[in-house]
Structure 1
């Protein structure tokens, strides 16, 4: 059906990771004898099993695309890496045609399963074409990397215990208020609201070092209610990177944010309640933790509501979790 796509840039590869649910990458080198030996097997699999926007086969010359090889810790050739929705899920090292056949044909079975409802809709599909709900299209060339967060270290300050927890914000399910097939009794509150005032502080440690391109914030407060009892959408947001812990509110006030954002009413998509935040990418090139400080809300209410947060960019090498505290509080940060 199709030949493998020869990757000529990091941007091209990231674009394919965003547009195709499954991507298979053959990391090879011209001087590598085993690479040439297994190439006909790989090419035949690509010809038989490629499917537009579902499963894409690529070839990456490690000498010409050293940045990509380094990002995925490729040190031996050939190495085959399978990506699902932009995330590496399986690695085959060496020219083993039997194992390659087994892994790729199992992948093809997965790719052939029926796609989730609404998978072709940008407002309901994941950045790589299925599964995860998004309130807005993923930025071109970047993937949804929200699932890189470390659940054990996740913290949320000033949250009202009557509603959801921090994990709900980073979940991939469609918000219940938009209709996800579950009643409130079944699902529980899948959003968070602030407690004593409008401020919220979310600490997100990551399992790998990220390049963060942008954020999508979804907030779906009710349109009717009693005055200041109606929760607000966030207006001012301060972002802090590479801290070893959740910042206290007073502590955050004393530290200049890496970026401050002000959201206007026109920034929110009327259908999905989602606002896109483009980051100063140069300042978010090596991020292993993120504090998101929701400073105030857009209105006269007393509480702020957040339904979902999605993070877009690139993931790099896995981080040794024990080193977070050691390197998170460097002098002068």
Structure 2
């Protein structure tokens, strides 16, 4: 694990993380999963580069150790990368950046990526980092005008 990825073992730990970060990317993984192991270094690199304290967090859930968390979101395939906004699995408006069969969508929102899909994972991290940066700037402007 890297300092930029939070291991989530309980729903309470997830609630704590989502209460302090508007955006969260969760990697649902398993130790026995070869594709999970293959994409883990990329997830670590993205977390190191794009995590933004108080705005964008990267988390990991081992489905065997935290089955309650996986069950909450109906996770049945690993790896799955889930996008939470304000603690809800409603996804985010990716502007059409995420494409392909691995991307789960509703209308204009990317909900998750099922499988080890480096291209879409990178696109999601970049887009969420941009949204998080805008959020931080908006908070600073609001604080300065108060």
Structural RMSD (CA) = 1.8
Q: Which ranges of structure 2 fall in alignment gaps of 5 or more residues?
A: 92-110
Give the superposition deviation at 1:2: 4.0
How far apart, in 2, do the equivalents of 1:9 and 1:68 lie?
Answer: 6
- Report the more deviating stretch, 72-81 or 14-23: 14-23
Which residue of structure 2 aligns with residue 276 of structure 1? none
TM value normalised by structure 1: 0.35
Q: Which ranges of structure 1 fall in alignment gaps of 5 or more residues?
A: 120-333
Q: Deviations over 1:201-220 (max 9, x none)?
A: xxxxxxxxxxxxxxxxxxxx
How far apart, in 2, do the equivalents of 1:56 and 1:97 lie?
Answer: 18
Higher RCO (CA-CA < 8 Å; seq separation 6+): 2
Aligned length: 120
How far apart, in 2, do the equivalents of 1:78 and 1:4 lie?
Answer: 15
CA contact (8 A) 2:10 2:68 kept: no
Q: Which has the higher helix share?
A: 2
How far apart, in 2, do the equivalents of 1:97 and 1:36 lie?
Answer: 13
Mark the structure with the bigger radius of gyration. Answer: 1
Which residue of structure 2 aligns with residue 207 of structure 1? none
Give the superposition deviation at 1:7: 1.2
Q: Which has the higher strand share?
A: 1
Which residue of structure 2 aligns with residue 54 of structure 1? 55
Local SS of the residue matching 2:54: coil
Give the superposition deviation at 1:118: 4.0
TM value normalised by structure 2: 0.77
**For residues 228-247 of structure 1, what are the structure 2 equivalents within 5 Å?**
none
Which residue of structure 2 aligns with residue 112 of structure 1? 133
How far apart, in 2, do the equivalents of 1:118 and 1:65 lie?
Answer: 38
Q: Deviations over 1:56-80 (max 9, x none)?
A: 1110000111111111010000000
Give the superposition deviation at 1:51: 1.2
Give the superposition deviation at 1:25: 0.5
